Structure 1
Amino acid sequence: MNDVVEYRKLFIGGDWVTPTGTGTLDVISPHSEERVGRVPAATVEDVDRAVAAARAAFDTGPWPLMPLAERIGVVTRIKEGIAARAGDFAELISRQNGAPMSSAVRTQVLGAVAAYGSACTTAAEFGWEQERPGVTGPMVVRHEPVGVVAAVVPWNVPQLVIAAKLAPALLAGCTVVLKPAPETPLDANLLAEVCTEAGLPRGVLSVLPADRDVSGHLVAHPEVDKVAFTGSVLAGKQIMAAAAENLTRVTLELGGKSAAILLEDADLDTAIPHVVAGAFVNSGQACVALTRILVPAARYDEVADTLAAAIAALRVGDPSDPATVIGPMVSARQRQRNLDYIRLGQEEGAKILTGGGVPAGLSSGWYVEPTLLGNVDNSMRVAREEIFGPVVCLIAFEDEDDAVRIANDSDLGLSGAVWAGDVQHGLDVARRVRTGTFSVNCQRFDVAGPFGGYKNSGLGREFGPEGLAAYLETKSIFLPAQ
């Protein structure tokens, strides 16, 4: 798949239709800096068409009334369609956002396949309708689909994030207008093809690549019942404000500045490889990345040397090379953002322990060396603001209480991890850290468990029964007393 991938039509309500405007979005390879794709840019009129199709499909179509087993069957076929074309999806994603192919296959595509499968299992086991005894008589508590969903997804792990929204929304009986990021629209269009082949009814799904203004029209649309968004804190606040006008339900999965805590009795030989993998997942362009590494002051030099050597050994380069661990940043702007933060960290007093610039020997591409900043204080901007790249901070703590204090001293609370001499000790620490997910003596993510953040890291949860419930309204039906 080395040719330019070009679409001339938009997928609206199950059909490929001519866009109302003439604008296009070019997809540029972060590695070669050459155009690898082009799609039509949706307009506000296209948004209105897509929302109208979704509204009609929800209000009068078969999808919300279809037996759950039939909806599970369709979603299962979507899962199988993605798995059958896993190589195509992974290559498209890698060409668009520069993700190393190993990550694109394992995390971005097979992770999405797992998410669809897990969501189907959750839906089959969910308590959709329950009889309960009340104070004055019996009742039935029902869960019903929320309605038309606007799903707005980022560029960094597009298919996994789409699955987090599309799978539970479809299983709930909702209809969806999907807005992919301008940087990664191609895999979303391929997904539309898979959904059609899976038998998804007309009107249930639309895919609208668009810029920020058109996206704003979608999330503020009065006929949208729920917005599901993954992205920056700033954009999340703007979406929440827009949704407030119509009391539109929202799920927001926003940024992270997660801490990896290495306690005094941590086994470094075991911990360091996990820390490095968690810090530089998807070339550091991940909201769950372990970007603050907290170490005992007494072991600071030991950890600094070991960690710097492990980071320096990470292979940087062409994402299509199976040996590559660190690919390019998604854009020139994102590369400059990382370099600016490295410079800022030095101005604040941080010391570059490894990396710190642009890798030598790469004639094109938006690359940043995997970088470890030492002598970092948690008050520095590099320790408080999400950089979204291969730049991590090493922070010393005095004792366990100090480590927990530093981990919690953040406006964000999405993920984190701790390494301790035994799991129970680590679990005790995990209970004290205010984040939505946390790992003990490992760095895990599981599509069966609820995922989301505390504080400015967002509202609501995705995955698991909590993620399905986010696409449902709850109704109480009161019956006459016996």
Structure 2
Amino acid sequence: MTSVQNETGVLAGEPRMLIDGELTETAGGATFDVIHPASEQVAGTATDGTVEDMARAVGAARRAFDETDWSRDKDFRFNCLMQLHAALEKNQERLRRILITEVGCPVTVSGSQIESPIAEVKHWAEHGRDFDYLVDNGVHETPLGPARRKLHYEPVGVVGAITPWNVPFYLNIAETIPALMAGNTVVLKPAQLTPWSGSELGRIVAEETDIPAGVFNVVTSNANEVGAALSADPRVDMITFTGSTATGRAILAAGAPTVKKTLLELGGKSAHIVLDDADFNSSLPLAAMMACVMSGQSCILPSRILLPRSRYEEGIEILKTSMANFPVGDPWTPGNMQGPQISETQRQKVLGLIKSGIDAGARLVTGGGIPEALPVGYYTEATLLVDVDPDSQIAQEEIFGPVLTVTPYDTDDDAVAIANNTIYGLSGEVSSADVDRAFSVATRMRTGNVTINGKSHFGIDSPFGGTKQSGLGYRNGTHGYQEYLAIKTIGMPE
């Protein structure tokens, strides 16, 4: 948890975008408003880029990849990214204020959105510097005699990064820095609701590093077709995207004509299986906190709690107490851990899903509406719905709000079947006094990542990715770095 050390309060970010080394406005000067979700007031503007701006950015990235030494000079890339790391550290508090302004993330929990991604820049620079880009695969017998084979890891080319609004600065770093260190050039399209977490990164790259013109570009826009143009551009070799499964499908379709490599981190509807021997007083308050931190706007949070029928009411009471007393309020006030939803549209979506759950027979235990004490700002009460039908909309659709659903089960097999009963497979959790039993359950969950007894699966050194309709490919770890590289197998004389 973090507190701002310097000045606090609303702060507008860089209004321009970065194309071919220049901070620039779109032709005609069109802008769009950025709203502070805690006040519902306009905090500033960003330039409203066009399809033509995106085409210029892609052209700059293509030229920088094809005509400069960026892809071949590992030491230069390392030095540039270390410059960027130092510059981000210097700008840390400015970045925090901008993030809270456009996202509404509570300052108390902003470390994961500011300090962590800044540290990741240094990690990826060092990882890429030490990575073995040429691996001897040994001598192999062939009909024409022995051949030595070497594996050459090469950058993919031009990478288009399309990022969401929930943890924008973190994901702007996670989806661009490994790609840059691997030798690619990048065009970043940040989310419409959070353009400054991208444009500020562009400003710092332009003003405080030696990264050459065209290597890193940022195009802000309020138009969906601008991101679509990036996905479809034949000059782009790879798209990396975090966001909804529906948008992920559209990106796959847009890239299909050029068979574009696609890295997708999509939606989640993760289940937390609480086994009948678990320590409820330890696991359930943490589950409630995870549902509410960041206003529930996280793809990996276990939003479905599965409780054994034998201890069902006991578990509900613990969850009720935790959620009814969760600190919700002004994100600038230290101690608050849940801020507003990102927008009124998002709040209404959350409230609509809560209503659909109640209409389908779920029992509302606490929350369910707008906090009376917070009439201004896009706040939603921490909400607990129980007796939830596992086939109902509220149990199947990603909510992206501070809502926990609870469903009873009878046996471990029953719990696993309920957990696997969605199109998603991003994350999950198991709680039990018997770690071997928990591990057995975890291995049967059709999901890319599982936490056991609060020991998080998520970290920069470990691959993170989803199964089913929760994504393709991996972030983090060596597996994640290799996503931005192509492998060329070279056969040569022994």
Give the TM-score taking structure 2 as reference length.
0.94
Q: 1:335-356 CA deviation, whole Å, 9 max, x = no partner?
A: 0001101111010000111101
Give, as a single letter, the amino acid of the residue that structure 1 aligns with 2:67: T
Structure-2 change in CA distance of 1:468 and 1:48 (3 Å): same
SS state at 1:456 partner: helix
Checking the alignment, whether the CA contact within 8 Å between 2:102 and 2:194 is kept in structure 1 is yes
Q: 1:419-465 CA deviation, whole Å, 9 max, x = no partner?
A: 11033322222111111111110052212111110001011111111
SS state at 1:406 partner: helix
Q: CA separation in 2, counterparts of 1:427 and 1:113?
A: 33
Q: CA separation in 2, counterparts of 1:118 and 1:437?
A: 22
Checking the alignment, whether the CA contact within 8 Å between 1:54 and 1:177 is kept in structure 2 is yes
Give, as a single letter, the amino acid of the residue that structure 1 aligns with 2:467: Y
Give, as a single letter, the amino acid of the residue that structure 2 aligns with 1:11: L
Give, as a single letter, the amino acid of the residue that structure 2 aligns with 1:92: I
Q: 1:387-425 CA deviation, whole Å, 9 max, x = no partner?
A: 111111011110111111111111000011111103332
Q: In the alignment, which of 200, 206, 214 is matched to residue 217 of structure 2? A: 206
Alignment-derived partner of residue 388 in structure 1: 400
Q: CA separation in 2, counterparts of 1:424 and 1:199?
A: 51
Matched, 1:190 2:200: yes
Alignment-derived partner of residue 377 in structure 1: 389
SS state at 1:63 partner: coil
Alignment-derived partner of residue 408 in structure 1: 420
1:4 CA drift (Å):
5.9
Q: CA separation in 2, counterparts of 1:191 and 1:74?
A: 14
Matched, 1:112 2:125: no
Q: CA separation in 2, counterparts of 1:134 and 1:434?
A: 37
Alignment-derived partner of residue 357 in structure 1: 369
Q: CA separation in 2, counterparts of 1:331 and 1:471?
A: 33
Within 5 A, what are the aligned runs for 1:308-347?
Answer: 308-347=320-359
Q: CA separation in 1, counterparts of 2:434 and 2:173?
A: 35
Q: In the alignment, which of 85, 90, 94 is matched to residue 79 of structure 1? A: 85
1:23 CA drift (Å):
2.2
Alignment-derived partner of residue 19 in structure 1: 26
Give, as a single letter, the amino acid of the residue that structure 2 aligns with 1:129: L
1:48 CA drift (Å):
1.1
Checking the alignment, whether the CA contact within 8 Å between 2:364 and 2:384 is kept in structure 1 is yes
Q: 1:247-302 CA deviation, whole Å, 9 max, x = no partner?
A: 11100110000011111111112212321232223110000111000110010000
Checking the alignment, whether the CA contact within 8 Å between 1:118 and 1:448 is kept in structure 2 is no
Q: In the alignment, which of 125, 128, 136 is matched to residue 131 of structure 1? A: 136
1:78 CA drift (Å):
1.9
Give, as a single letter, the amino acid of the residue that structure 1 aligns with 2:464: F
Matched, 1:29 2:36: yes
Alignment-derived partner of residue 65 in structure 2: 58
Query: Structure 1 regions of 5+ residues with no counterpart?
Result: none
1:468 CA drift (Å):
1.0
Q: CA separation in 1, counterparts of 2:63 and 2:355?
A: 53
Alignment-derived partner of residue 9 in structure 1: 16
Structure-2 change in CA distance of 1:160 and 1:135 (3 Å): farther
Say which is worse superposed, 9-18 or 95-104, in terms of deviation: 9-18
Q: CA separation in 1, counterparts of 2:380 and 2:31?
A: 29
Q: CA separation in 2, counterparts of 1:234 and 1:315?
A: 33
Matched, 1:234 2:234: no
Checking the alignment, whether the CA contact within 8 Å between 2:14 and 2:203 is kept in structure 1 is no
Alignment-derived partner of residue 51 in structure 2: 44
SS state at 1:25 partner: strand
Matched, 1:476 2:486: no
Q: CA separation in 1, counterparts of 2:357 and 2:25?
A: 49
Q: CA separation in 2, counterparts of 1:263 and 1:2?
A: 44
SS state at 2:303 partner: strand
Give, as a single letter, the amino acid of the residue that structure 2 aligns with 1:101: V
Checking the alignment, whether the CA contact within 8 Å between 2:36 and 2:101 is kept in structure 1 is yes
1:91 CA drift (Å):
1.4
Checking the alignment, whether the CA contact within 8 Å between 2:199 and 2:220 is kept in structure 1 is no
Q: 1:110-138 CA deviation, whole Å, 9 max, x = no partner?
A: 22123223323432443311112223211
Query: Structure 2 regions of 5+ residues with no counterpart?
Result: 1-7
Q: In the alignment, which of 471, 474, 477 is matched to residue 464 of structure 1? A: 477
Aligned length: 479
1:158 CA drift (Å):
0.7
SS state at 2:71 partner: helix
Q: CA separation in 2, counterparts of 1:216 and 1:208?
A: 12
SS state at 1:138 partner: strand
Q: In the alignment, which of 202, 220, 231 is matched to residue 219 of structure 1? A: 231
Alignment-derived partner of residue 462 in structure 2: 449
Structure-2 change in CA distance of 1:279 and 1:2 (3 Å): closer
Structure-2 change in CA distance of 1:94 and 1:244 (3 Å): same
Q: CA separation in 2, counterparts of 1:443 and 1:284?
A: 20
Q: In the alignment, which of 275, 283, 290 is matched to residue 271 of structure 1? A: 283
Checking the alignment, whether the CA contact within 8 Å between 1:258 and 1:289 is kept in structure 2 is yes
RMSD (Å), alpha carbons: 1.5
Q: In the alignment, which of 92, 99, 106 is matched to residue 100 of structure 1? A: 106
Matched, 1:180 2:190: yes
SS state at 2:444 partner: coil
Give the TM-score taking structure 1 as reference length.
0.96
Identity of aligned residues (%): 39
SS state at 1:143 partner: strand
